Structures are given as structure tokens and as C-alpha cells.
């Protein structure tokens, strides 16, 4: 097909991906690659697609057909109203984590606070919090130096002043205390590999996905360290797997019996978040 219209190119992508039993990501790939809104694309529907854009679009669609996530193909992903650079060193930010950020912003006071995003990855949580609450002092930690490089790039590009620290959970944060800690830690059990999306397994970093102890080994380390790293009346917000609530509630009761815990459902109705108040 020589220089199709934008409409024809999207139609080609839809058929091409359907034949390979893949979801239709053509529209997302085109919008994100060109940095257009849906309206901007609609106004160009009947225009011939320039050759350079057509060649790039075909290459992007073919990469997606081979199970490469669309966000890695275009190099960025939307999160909480901002665009974040993503690489295979970081997880792709998900909408469920936006709900965690929203919950924390609604629960925490707008006064100056010291906040930690534990396991920051792309920096999506930390940067979003800082942009929403400029008066907060926001820290971000991760075990991965490569992820921290991506997070630092995002903080710079979006104008967010973040304190970064390479750390395996609290290992290199020994003397630091925070008013709130927010985390989307690894929580998938290795036994769940067989039911996971092939594109996730092939491209997203395993260290940010999987944890021993049925997915709760990192949570055990976090919960154990909260009394030492939260200030008086400090709060913790965390994301977990949709089926882990009973085991996680038992772990919280075991490790932090005198503290208040609340679980919250995501928009899909699954219990996916918790809040702990010391």
C-alpha cells in the first residue's frame, strides 16, 4: 500500500493485528508517536500519510505484533496527566497505580511533608506527587540503577525536584524517616508466570514484577521496616495483587498488630490497595 490516507493506514493496522490475534494498538501507536490528540488525528483522516510516517507506523505495528508493548515501542507512557519515558529497565505505569496516587493525595495533608516512593521505577509516582504537591519533599528509591536513570530523566523533563537514592528496600535509607511512604513493589508470585501476558514476561523487568513468598516477600521487608522509617502518625500506601488481600491482611496483623489498616478496591472492584497508619 503506497502512501495511504491516515484512515486507510489505521484500517490496515487493525486487519494486520486482528489476523495475528493481537489487540488493535494502531491508533495508540500513531497518536503517541506523533504526539497528537484524537481530534488532530481525526482532522487528518482523509489526508495522505507522509512516507516517513507510514514507514515508521508499519514498523511500529509489526513490532507490536511480535508482543513488544506499545509503550516501549514509542518510548513513553501516559500517567496521571503526564508523559513518562519508559524503557525495559522500568515497568510500564498502569492506571491502577494512578488510583493509588489519587488516594494518597486525598488522604495526606497539603502541608509540607517528607514522602518516599519506594521502588520508583520510571518515577511515575514520585514525579506525579511532587507536581501535585510542590511543597512536599519527595524522595524516590529503587534497587535498579538503570531505572533510577530513567526516573531522573523524567523528573528533569517534567520539572520535578526529587531526591533519588539507590536502595534495596530500606538498606540505604537507614537513618531516614518519612511522613508517608508509597509503594508499588514487586508482588507477583513466580508460580503465576504461566498465566501472565507474553509481552510482559518478554519485556518488563522481572525484578520489578516477581517476589518470593507467594509474591509477598518484599511486602514483608517493607512492613517490618515501617516503624523505623515512618514518623509518628506516618502513613503507608501500597498496591498489591487482586487475590492477595487475605494473606496480606494476615501479614499486617502479624507484623504491625497495633496499627490501623484499611483496604481499598480499584475501579474494577478488586481489592488492590492498602493504607497503614502508625
Query: Which residue numbers belong to the known binding site for substrate?
Result: 184-187
HSE-up of 231 (CA within 13 Å, CB side)? Answer: 9
Residue listed under C-alpha cell 494473606: 247
Residue listed under C-alpha cell 518515577: 123
Provide the β-strand partners of residue 114.
137
- Residues contributing to the annotated binding site for S-adenosyl-L-methionine: 119-123, 142, 184
- Residues contributing to the annotated binding site: 119-123, 142, 184-187
Contacts of 107 (CB under 8 A, 6+ apart): 235, 237, 275
Beta strand spans in the chain (E): 76-79, 82-85, 114-118, 137-142, 162-166, 178-183, 230-239, 260-265, 271-277
Distance CA 13, CA 60 (A): 10
CA–CA distance from 266 to each of 98, 120, 218, 273 (Å)? 10, 20, 22, 8
Secondary structure (3-state) at 187: coil
Distance CA 267, CA 95 (A): 10
Distance CA 242, CA 254 (A): 21
Provide the β-strand partners of residue 277.
235, 260
Amino acid at each position: 500500500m503506497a502512501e495511504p490516507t491516515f484512515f486507510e493506514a489505521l484500517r490496515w493496522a487493525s486487519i494486520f493485528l486482528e489476523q495475528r490475534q493481537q489487540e488493535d494498538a494502531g491508533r495508540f501507536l500513531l497518536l503517541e508517536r506523533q504526539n497528537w490528540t484524537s481530534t488532530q488525528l481525526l482532522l487528518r483522516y482523509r489526508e495522505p500519510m507522509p512516507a516517513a510516517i507510514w514507514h515508521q507506523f508499519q514498523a511500529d505495528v509489526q513490532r507490536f505484533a511480535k508482543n513488544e508493548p506499545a509503550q516501549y515501542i514509542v518510548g513513553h507512557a501516559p500517567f496521571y496527566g503526564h508523559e513518562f519515558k519508559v524503557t525495559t529497565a522500568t515497568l510500564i505505569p498502569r492506571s491502577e497505580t494512578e488510583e493509588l496516587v489519587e488516594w494518597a493525595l486525598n488522604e495526606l495533608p497539603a502541608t509540607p511533608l517528607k514522602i518516599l516512593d519506594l521502588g520508583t521505577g520510571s518515577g511515575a509516582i514520585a514525579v506525579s506527587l511532587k507536581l501535585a504537591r510542590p511543597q512536599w519533599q519527595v524522595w524516590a528509591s529503587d534497587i535498579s540503577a538503570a531505572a533510577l536513570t530513567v526516573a531522573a530523566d523524567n523528573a528533569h523533563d517534567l520539572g520535578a525536584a526529587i531526591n533519588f537514592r539507590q536502595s534495596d528496600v530500606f538498606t540505604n535509607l537507614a537513618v531516614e524517616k518519612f511522613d508517608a511512604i508509597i509503594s508499588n513493589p514487586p508482588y507477583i508470585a513466580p508460580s503465576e508466570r504461566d498465566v501472565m501476558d507474553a509481552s510482559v514476561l518478554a519485556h518488563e523487568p522481572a525484578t520489578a514484577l516477581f517476589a518470593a513468598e507467594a509474591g509477598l516477600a518484599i511486602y514483608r521487608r517493607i512492613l517490618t521496616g515501617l516503624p523505623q522509617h515512618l514518623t509518628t502518625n506516618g502513613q503507608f500506601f501500597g498496591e498489591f495483587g487482586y487475590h492477595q488481600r487475605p494473606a496480606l491482611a494476615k501479614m499486617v496483623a502479624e507484623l504491625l498488630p497495633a496499627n490501623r489498616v484499611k483496604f481499598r478496591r480499584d475501579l474494577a472492584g478488586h481489592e488492590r490497595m492498602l493504607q497503614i497508619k502508625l
